C-alpha cells in the first residue's frame, strides 16, 4: 500500500503532462503585441506609465517566476513528485542615461527558491545533472551585483562585482532551452565547491575582447571560496582565503558550407586548497580543458538558425584530486517546428559523464556504492503561449545514476511567467 501511495503523485504528474502537451500545440502563438510585452513589460504591464518613464531614464526592473512539477516515474531512489517554485528579480541600469557614465551598466538580482528537491530525493544522479537547473536549497539570496564597462568603442567589456561564472562561460546558443542543469542556462560547474556557479555567486572580474569580426577572447577570475548552497546563505558567505578560480577561452565565428558556426576552446585553473583522494594531503592546484561548437544547420530567410546543433566537452586530467574526469554533451534545437508557432522550440540532447578512479576508490572505501559513469537524455518542447507566459514539458532518462544506480525516468512541466 505504501508503495502505491508513493507512486501516486508521479502517475498523476505523468497524466497531467500527457493532457497538457497536446493542448500546447492547439493554442494560438503569441502575437506581436504580446511579443512586445514579454520583451518589455511582461504580465504586470507598464504600471500606469511608470515603467516606461523608468526605461527612459535607463532603469529596467525585471521579474520572473517559474512554477514546476517534477516526477520520477520509475527507478532512482523512489517514485513520486516534487513541486518547485523559483523567483528571479532585479534591476538593470544604463549608467550613461542615469548618471552620465558613458558605456557603463549596473546590474543587481535576487533569487528565491522554494519547493522540493526532486533530484536528491527521487533520482539520485550526480548533482550537476539536476532535472531542473533551478533546483537549490530553499532560500532567499542576492545573486549577481556588478558594474559592466565598455571600452575601445565596445570592443572590450569589463565586468566587476559579485558574479556567477556560468553566465559567461560554457554557454551554448542552442542549449539554453533545456531544463536539465547540465544543459541549460546554469551548467556543469555547480558541483564544485571552489567555483561561483549558480546558485551561489562570488566576487570576480570578467574581461571580454573582440578582435575583428571573427575572434573573441574572454578571461574570468573569481575567489575560490564562494560559500555553500545552504538555506541561511543570503549570498554573502564567500571569502578570500582559499585562492582563485579562473577560466579563459577563445572563440572564433565562421561559416561552414555557408552556415554560421562558432568554435570555442578554453581552460580552467584553480589554486584552491583541495585534498588528494588517496592520501588526504592538501594540494593547491587543479586544472581542466574544455571545447564547444555551435553549428547552424538550417536558416530562415533572415539568416537566423531554425535548426542548430551543439557539442561540448570538458576534460580534467588529474584523477588524484578531481571528481569528474570527462563530460560530453551533444544536442539539436529546432525553432518554429510547427506551422504558426514560430517562437516554439523542440530540442533533444545527450549528456555523458565519467568520474575519476581515485574519487571512486575513496568513496568505495568509505562504504558508498557509486557508478563510474552516468548518461542522461532530455527531450523538451518550449511553447510560447503569450508574450509573458511559456509552458515547457521535459522528459529525461537517466542511465546508471551516480548515487542510486537505478535507471530513472523523469517527467516535468514548467510554467515561466515574466512579470
Q: Which domains occur in the chain, in start order?
A: 2-418 (2.40.160.180)
pLDDT band for position 22 (cuts 50, 70, 90)? low
Q: What is the mean pLDDT of residues 385-412?
A: 95
pLDDT band for position 37 (cuts 50, 70, 90)? very low
- The pLDDT of residue 273 is 83
pLDDT band for position 94 (cuts 50, 70, 90)? very high
- Phi, psi values for residue 311, rounded to 5°: -145, 140
Q: Reduced to 3 states, what is the DSSP secondary structure of residue 17?
A: helix
Radius of gyration of the chain (CA): 22
- The pLDDT of residue 8 is 53
Strand partners, 345: 335, 382
Dihedral in degrees, nearest 10, Cα atoms 18, 19, 25, 31? -130
Is residue 215 within 8 Å of 252, Cβ to Cβ? yes
- The pLDDT of residue 1 is 38
The yes-or-no verdict on residue 62 having pLDDT over 50 is yes
- The pLDDT of residue 299 is 94
- Phi, psi values for residue 240, rounded to 5°: -125, 15
HSE toward the beta carbon, residue 4, CA cutoff 13 A: 1
Q: What is the mean pLDDT of residues 112-137?
A: 92
Q: What is the pLDDT of residues 332-372, one digit of tens each?
A: 999 999 998 999 999 999 999 999 999 999 999 999 999 99
Q: What is the mean pLDDT of residues 289-316?
A: 94
- The pLDDT of residue 193 is 80
How far apart, in whole angstroms, are the C-alpha atoms of residue 227 and residue 136? Answer: 14
The count of other CB atoms within 10 Å of the CB of residue 19 is 9
The yes-or-no verdict on residue 233 having pLDDT over 70 is yes
Dihedral in degrees, nearest 10, Cα atoms 293, 298, 303, 305? -50
The yes-or-no verdict on residue 189 having pLDDT over 60 is no
The count of other CB atoms within 10 Å of the CB of residue 58 is 16
Minimum mean pLDDT range among 211-220, 279-288, 391-400: 279-288
User: How far, in Å, are 162, 197, 317, 369, 418 from residue 215 at the CA level?
Assistant: 27, 26, 28, 46, 34
Q: What is the mean pLDDT of residues 36-58?
A: 80
- The pLDDT of residue 275 is 82
How far apart, in whole angstroms, are the C-alpha atoms of residue 175 and residue 167? Answer: 13
The string of DSSP letters for 119-179 reads IIIII---GGG-SSTT---SEEEEEEEEEEEEEGGGTEEEEEEEE-GGGTSS--TTTTT--
Q: What is the mean pLDDT of residues 221-245?
A: 93
- The pLDDT of residue 111 is 96
The yes-or-no verdict on residue 295 having pLDDT over 80 is yes
Contacts of 120 (CB under 8 A, 6+ apart): 127
The yes-or-no verdict on residue 307 having pLDDT over 70 is yes
- Phi, psi values for residue 382, rounded to 5°: -105, 115
Mean pLDDT of the chain: 88
- The pLDDT of residue 274 is 82
The yes-or-no verdict on residue 243 having pLDDT over 70 is yes
Q: What is the mean pLDDT of residues 64-73?
A: 96
How far apart, in whole angstroms, are the C-alpha atoms of residue 50 and residue 47? Answer: 5
Q: What is the mean pLDDT of residues 160-185?
A: 91
The closest of 36, 27, 18 to 340, measured between CA atoms, is 27
Strand partners, 10: none
Per-residue three-class SS string for 313-337: EEECCCCCCCCEEEEEEEEEEEECC
The yes-or-no verdict on residue 387 having pLDDT over 70 is yes
pLDDT band for position 281 (cuts 50, 70, 90)? confident
The yes-or-no verdict on residue 10 having pLDDT over 80 is no
- The pLDDT of residue 190 is 65
Q: What is the mean pLDDT of residues 266-272?
A: 93
Amino acid at each position: 500500500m505504501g508503495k502505491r501511495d508513493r507512486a501516486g503523485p508521479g502517475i498523476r504528474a505523468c497524466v497531467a503532462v500527457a493532457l497538457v502537451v497536446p493542448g500546447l500545440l492547439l493554442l494560438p502563438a503569441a502575437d506581436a503585441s504580446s511579443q512586445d510585452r514579454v520583451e518589455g513589460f511582461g504580465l504586470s504591464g507598464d504600471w500606469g506609465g511608470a515603467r516606461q518613464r523608468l526605461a527612459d531614464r535607463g532603469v529596467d526592473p525585471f521579474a520572473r517566476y517559474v512554477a514546476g512539477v517534477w516526477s520520477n516515474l520509475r527507478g532512482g531512489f523512489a517514485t513520486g513528485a516534487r513541486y518547485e517554485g523559483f523567483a528571479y528579480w532585479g534591476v538593470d541600469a544604463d549608467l550613461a542615461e542615469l548618471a552620465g557614465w558613458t558605456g557603463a551598466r549596473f546590474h543587481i538580482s535576487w533569487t528565491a527558491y522554494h519547493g522540493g528537491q526532486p533530484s536528491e530525493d527521487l533520482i539520485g544522479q550526480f548533482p550537476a545533472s539536476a532535472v531542473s537547473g533551478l533546483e537549490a536549497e530553499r532560500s532567499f539570496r542576492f545573486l549577481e551585483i556588478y558594474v559592466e564597462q565598455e571600452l575601445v568603442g565596445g570592443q572590450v567589456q569589463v565586468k566587476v562585482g559579485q558574479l556567477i561564472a556560468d553566465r559567461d562561460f560554457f554557454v551554448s546558443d542552442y542549449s539554453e532551452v533545456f531544463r536539465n542543469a547540465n544543459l541549460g542556462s546554469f551548467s556543469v560547474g555547480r558541483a564544485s565547491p571552489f567555483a561561483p556557479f549558480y546558485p551561489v555567486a562570488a566576487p570576480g572580474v570578467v574581461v571580454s575582447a573582440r578582435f575583428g569580426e571573427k575572434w573573441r577572447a574572454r578571461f574570468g577570475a573569481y575567489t575560490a571560496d564562494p560559500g555553500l548552497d545552504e538555506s541561511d546563505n543570503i549570498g554573502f558567505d564567500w571569502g578570500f582565503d582559499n585562492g582563485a578560480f579562473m577560466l579563459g577561452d577563445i572563440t572564433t565565428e565562421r561559416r561552414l558550407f555557408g552556415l554560421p558556426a562558432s568554435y570555442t576552446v578554453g581552460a580552467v585553473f584553480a589554486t584552491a586548497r583541495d585534498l588528494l583522494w588517496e592520501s588526504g594531503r592538501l594540494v593547491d592546484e587543479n586544472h581542466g580543458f574544455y571545447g564547444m561548437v555551435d553549428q547552424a544547420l538550417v536558416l530562415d530567410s533572415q539568416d537566423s538558425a531554425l535548426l542548430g546543433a551543439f557539442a561540448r566537452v570538458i576534460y580534467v586530467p588529474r584523477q588524484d584530486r578531481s571528481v569528474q574526469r570527462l563530460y560530453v554533451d551533444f544536442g539539436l534545437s529546432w525553432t518554429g517546428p510547427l506551422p504558426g508557432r514560430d517562437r516554439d522550440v523542440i530540442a533533444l540532447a545527450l549528456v555523458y559523464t565519467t568520474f575519476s578512479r581515485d574519487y571512486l576508490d575513496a568513496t568505495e572505501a568509505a562504504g558508498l556504492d557509486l557508478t563510474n559513469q552516468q548518461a542522461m537524455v532530455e527531450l523538451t518542447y518550449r511553447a510560447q503561449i503569450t508574450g509573458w507566459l511559456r509552458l515547457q514539458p521535459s522528459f529525461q532518462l537517466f542511465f546508471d545514476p551516480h548515487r542510486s544506480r537505478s535507471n530513472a525516468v523523469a517527467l516535468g512541466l514548467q510554467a515561466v511567467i515574466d512579470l
